[in-house]
């Protein structure tokens, strides 16, 4: 038994992670259900001169035996049942103190369940979110670890070594027990949905409201990438917009069908937010927008009746668009962070928002200058509300006016701004000391005798309401 660590599942992600681990000087045992993939992997390792540190083992028991104890075994197979099947096969082969490190895109509640299941058996279970796609896995992903803290110590040096590096700090951290790592990864993806949708909304204003062509829009995004919006997503937006189709010579983006795919993590984060009772309108809006995008035929039919949005043009300053995007981003991150803070409270995870912001600064899809600011802001501040953190208060004061102008002009130009407009409403609602839920409470008492509160008089009070014909119980 001489491998430092083992890895089962040599698909796209697993193979790249394994090469990354070997490159950092660790010996890695590898296994895969179908042995053809093991051969492919070894050929790849040979090409990169890393095969000396890879131990291929087609037999699962022999694979487990080849790893140094206490063992750390990474599984990187398809999420869902394959993960449970893999755990069932591994557990009889493992010893107390060994750990299974599951790195796929698992639902955090599945991870929590697996963690609870293995706890009494004495086998550590780590549910790890890995962001950054295949490229990240190969050269440095952001790694969000959750699960057994003790067993984490054995794997820590390897996972920290393969993670992205941000100015000398590894973008890998243990965040909390059980499903904490996969929960944070899920919310990361939800935030990513919001970022992408808000960028797409601004692109829509440029294209349909301002009549800019793709190349002009690309120039603006490239410029923005030098400023406060500097981020991976803004950078790739510039590249996507400037790409030209080889066949027609037209901008590629104009040929791409406007139906967005989704694999589920956006929906998971929206559901998690709702279940926790935390508003996350940016995530919800982004998921809704992707669903609307998939109804192409209905959109075509409705445009024939109601006319084309943006047909009359729109006036907006490019500067305002930049600030609107920044304000939307502040609101969206405020929401995402408060979802994590509530989940942490409910599950006793002790999530540190500053640590999360730090490990998102490199390696993952939402990496940005903004996250660096966020990490700094949270370091000396225990609050979890980004809208109340001084640096962001100043930014929001500067940017909510532009957001307001963009949303107002967009609405008059009939352009859809699902995320940006809801971000603005969220901001306005959450800074309004006297809201309108007093009326809701009156209505609830009227039809269902649910009671209301009057300061100084107590709670569970009732009104004397007139009888109506349809006074049905709720
Ligand atoms: P691939 O489709 O490339 O590979 C899937 C792997 O799972 C293969 O090794 C396959 O083995 C194995 N597998 C599937 N079913 C079983 C089973 N029942 N028992 C044993 N092994 C099984 O997947 P990816 O590498 O893309 O993804 C792996 C995980 O990583 C997923 O959870 C995914 O969501 C996640 N992920 C993917 C990212 C990406 O950009 N692709 C980014 C971040 C996370 P076999 O060769 O025998 O079929």
pLDDT digits (tens, 9 = 90+) for 191-222: 999 999 999 999 999 999 999 999 999 999 99
- Give me the pLDDT at residue 378, please: 85
Does residue 185 carry a catalytic annotation?
yes
Is residue 399 scored above 80 in pLDDT?
yes
Residue nearest to atom 42 of ligand 1 (CA): 133
Instruction: Judge contact between 143 and 128, C-beta under 8 A.
Output: yes
The packing angle between helices 318-347 and 390-412, to 10°, is: 120
Best mutation site among 11, 38, 100 for ligand 1 pocket (most ligand atoms within 8 Å of CB): 11
Contacts of 176 (CB under 8 A, 6+ apart): 146, 344, 347, 349, 350, 351
Q: Which residues surround ligand 1 with Cβ inside 6 Å?
A: 9-14, 32-34, 37, 76-79, 82, 85-86, 104-105, 130, 133-134
User: What percentage of the chain reaches a pLDDT higher than 70?
Assistant: 98
| Per-domain boundaries in the chain | 5-178, 186-430, 438-474
The mean pLDDT value for 175-195 works out to 98
Residue nearest to atom 23 of ligand 1 (CA): 11
Query: Helix H segments across 73-132?
Result: 81-90, 108-118
Cα(27)–Cα(158) distance, integer angstroms: 10
345 band by pLDDT with thresholds 50, 70 and 90 = very high
Which atom of ligand 1 is nearest the CA belonging to 263? 34
Which atom of ligand 1 is nearest the CA belonging to 34? 47
Residue nearest to atom 39 of ligand 1 (CA): 133
- Give me the pLDDT at residue 380, please: 73
How does strand 72-75 pair with strand 99-102? parallel
- Give me the pLDDT at residue 470, please: 62
188 is in an annotated binding site: yes
From the CA of 378, how far away is ligand 1's center (Å)? 35
Residue listed under structure tokens 């109601």: 306
Best mutation site among 6, 8, 13, 80 for ligand 1 pocket (most ligand atoms within 8 Å of CB): 13
100 band by pLDDT with thresholds 50, 70 and 90 = very high
- Give me the pLDDT at residue 473, please: 54
294 is in an annotated binding site: no
Instruction: Judge contact between 74 and 103, C-beta under 8 A.
Output: yes
SS3 55: strand
CATH 3.40.50.720 fits 5-178, yes or no: yes
356 band by pLDDT with thresholds 50, 70 and 90 = very high
DSSP category for residue 244 = B
Cα(185)–Cα(233) distance, integer angstroms: 17
From the CA of 76, how far away is ligand 1's center (Å)? 6
Across 326-330, 379-383, 463-467, least confident range: 379-383
Does residue 192 carry a catalytic annotation?
yes
Is residue 319 scored above 70 in pLDDT?
yes
Is residue 472 scored above 60 in pLDDT?
no
The mean pLDDT value for 176-184 works out to 98
Closest CA to 147 of 87, 67, 63, 57: 87
- Give me the pLDDT at residue 1, please: 58
Instruction: Judge contact between 282 and 276, C-beta under 8 A.
Output: no
The predicted-structure confidence for 110-131, as pLDDT tens digits, reads as follows: 999 999 999 999 999 999 999 9
Average pLDDT, the chain: 96
383 band by pLDDT with thresholds 50, 70 and 90 = confident
Cα(366)–Cα(34) distance, integer angstroms: 34
Cα(290)–Cα(288) distance, integer angstroms: 5
* SS3 readout for 94-105: CCCCCEEEECCC
Question: Sign of the CA dihedral 365, 368, 373, 375?
Answer: positive
The predicted-structure confidence for 265-303, as pLDDT tens digits, reads as follows: 999 999 999 999 999 999 999 999 999 999 999 999 999
Rg (CA), the chain: 25
Instruction: Judge contact between 314 and 415, C-beta under 8 A.
Output: yes
Instruction: Judge contact between 99 and 71, C-beta under 8 A.
Output: yes
- Give me the pLDDT at residue 186, please: 97
Helix (H) or strand (E) holding 221: helix 214-224
Is residue 183 scored above 80 in pLDDT?
yes
457 is in an annotated binding site: no
Residue nearest to atom 32 of ligand 1 (CA): 104
Best mutation site among 18, 76, 77 for ligand 1 pocket (most ligand atoms within 8 Å of CB): 77
Is residue 322 scored above 60 in pLDDT?
yes
Is residue 141 scored above 70 in pLDDT?
yes
Best mutation site among 78, 80, 163, 263 for ligand 1 pocket (most ligand atoms within 8 Å of CB): 78
From the CA of 134, how far away is ligand 1's center (Å)? 11
From the CA of 13, how far away is ligand 1's center (Å)? 7
**From the candidates 177, 192, 201, 322, which is the catalytic residue?**
192
From the CA of 370, how far away is ligand 1's center (Å)? 32
Is residue 166 scored above 90 in pLDDT?
yes
From the CA of 147, how far away is ligand 1's center (Å)? 21
- Give me the pLDDT at residue 193, please: 98
372 is in an annotated binding site: no
Instruction: Judge contact between 95 and 70, C-beta under 8 A.
Output: yes
From the CA of 263, how far away is ligand 1's center (Å)? 14
Cα(306)–Cα(302) distance, integer angstroms: 6
Contacts of 51 (CB under 8 A, 6+ apart): 42, 45
The mean pLDDT value for 436-441 works out to 98
Is residue 25 scored above 90 in pLDDT?
yes
Is residue 139 scored above 70 in pLDDT?
yes
Which atom of ligand 1 is nearest the CA belonging to 132? 42
The mean pLDDT value for 247-262 works out to 96
Is residue 471 scored above 70 in pLDDT?
no
The predicted-structure confidence for 60-82, as pLDDT tens digits, reads as follows: 999 999 999 999 999 999 999 99
154 is in an annotated binding site: no
Cα(321)–Cα(407) distance, integer angstroms: 10
Q: Which class in CATH covers the domain with range 186-430?
A: mainly alpha
């Amino acid at each position: 038994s001489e491998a430092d660590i083992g890895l089962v599942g040599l698909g796209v992600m697993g193979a790249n992670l394994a090469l990354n681990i070997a490159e950092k000087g660790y010996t890695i045992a590898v296994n895969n259900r179908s042995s053809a993939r093991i051969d492919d992997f070894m050929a790849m390792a040979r090409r990169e001169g890393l095969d000396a540190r890879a131990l291929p083992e087609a037999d699962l028991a022999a694979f487990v035996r080849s790893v140094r104890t206490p063992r750390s075994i990474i599984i990187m197979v398809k999420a869902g049942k394959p993960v449970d099947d893999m755990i069932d096969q591994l557990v009889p082969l493992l010893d107390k103190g060994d750990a299974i490190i599951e790195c796929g895109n698992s639902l955090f509640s599945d991870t929590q369940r697996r963690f609870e299941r293995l706890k009494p058996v004495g086998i550590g279970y780590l549910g790890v979110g890995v962001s950054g796609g295949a490229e990240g896995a190969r050269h440095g992903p952001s790694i969000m670890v959750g699960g057994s803290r003790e067993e984490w110590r054995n794997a820590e040096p390897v996972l920290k070594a393969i993670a992205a590096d941000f100015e000398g700090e590894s973008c890998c951290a243990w965040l909390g027990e059980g499903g904490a790592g996969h929960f944070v990864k899920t919310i990361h993806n939800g935030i990513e949905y919001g970022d992408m949708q808000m960028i797409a909304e601004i692109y829509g204003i440029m294209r349909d409201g301002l009549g800019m062509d793709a190349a002009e829009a690309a120039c603006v995004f490239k410029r923005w990438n030098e400023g406060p919006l500097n981020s991976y997503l803004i950078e790739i937006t510039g590249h996507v917009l400037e790409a030209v189709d080889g066949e027609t010579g037209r901008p590629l983006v104009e040929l791409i069908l406007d139906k967005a795919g989704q694999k589920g993590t956006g929906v998971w984060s929206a559901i998690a937010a709702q279940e926790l009772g935390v508003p996350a309108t940016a995530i919800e809006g982004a998921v809704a927008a992707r669903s609307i995008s998939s109804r192409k035929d209905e959109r075509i039919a409705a445009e024939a009746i109601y006319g084309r949005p943006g047909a009359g043009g729109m006036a907006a300053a490019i500067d305002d668009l930049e600030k609107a995007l920044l304000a939307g981003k502040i609101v969206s991150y405020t929401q995402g962070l408060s979802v994590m803070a509530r989940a942490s409270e409910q599950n006793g995870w002790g999530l540190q928002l500053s640590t999360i912001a730090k490990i998102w600064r490199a390696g993952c899809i939402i990496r940005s200058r903004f996250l660096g600011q966020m990490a700094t802001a949270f370091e000396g501040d225990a609050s979890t509300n980004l809208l109340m953190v001084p640096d962001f208060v100043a930014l929001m004061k500067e940017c909510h006016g532009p957001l307001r102008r963009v949303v107002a002009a967009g609405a008059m130009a009939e352009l859809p701004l699902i995320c940006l407009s809801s971000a603005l409403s969220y901001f306005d609602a959450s800074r309004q000391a006297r809201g309108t839920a007093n009326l809701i409470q009156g209505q609830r008492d009227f039809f269902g005798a649910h009671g209301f509160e009057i300061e100084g008089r107590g709670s569970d009070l009732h009104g004397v309401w007139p009888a109506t014909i349809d006074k049905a119980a709720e």
